[in-house]
Structure 1
Amino acid sequence: MSTQSDHGHELIPRPEHTPDALRAALAAVEPGRLEEMQAQKDEAFAKAVEWQSLSPVRSWVLTWARNIEIARRPDLAARYAHATSRLEHEDPVTAREALLELSSILDEAMKAARE
């Protein structure tokens, strides 16, 4: 696992981009999503064989590195939960603000995951 960054409190260090490291990190921060991760991994590897390309595997790694980045950082996890809870708000302005916030969170998490 890599060293911690300056994002404040982190539950675990940022994991390396390997299936085993990502799985171990997810088990530590969101164990309830392990089956989802495994199903998406199986799908990515099947597509990689079918397409004769590593692109689906690379996408899987980045998606889960991003998801774990959100889960391992309580600041991002709280912002993510708040934004997703407002996505279907009856006030369209509130819903749009939530969508913009969610996009910002996902961008921030992806950028951090690629460090």
Structure 2
Amino acid sequence: MHELSLIQGLMNRLEEVVKENKAKRVKSIWLKVGPLSGAEPQLLKEAFNFFSKDGIAAGAELHIDSPLVTLKCDKCGAEAQREYFTLSCTECGAGLPISDGSEALMLEQLELEME
């Protein structure tokens, strides 16, 4: 379960951002979790709840956006959005490359409470 280490890394980054901005605490966090990132949104939430009990993120809201995978066929040019990766084009049967950041796990936005 690598979600624990991902959230530990997030908490370290939050501490840096709070110090850099001379903020009091983190109020809200928005993460983008691509379906091919290997991270499970529910496990991320559970890990966040565990690590944020005390400190700068205590009581913060975690918002997770889980976008669809956008696939584009190199052969016929067909595009499709799916909740999962498929190995072949539904139009022509050729292999599909991933055409977007579906494997990404990104911190998109923070809301801070200033001192």
Is TM (by shorter chain) over 0.5? no
Normalising by structure 2, report the TM-score: 0.31
TM-score norm. by structure 1 comes to: 0.31
The structure with the greater share of residues assigned to helix is 1
| Structure with higher RCO (Cα < 8 A, 6+ apart) | 2
Q: Which has a greater percent of strand?
A: 2
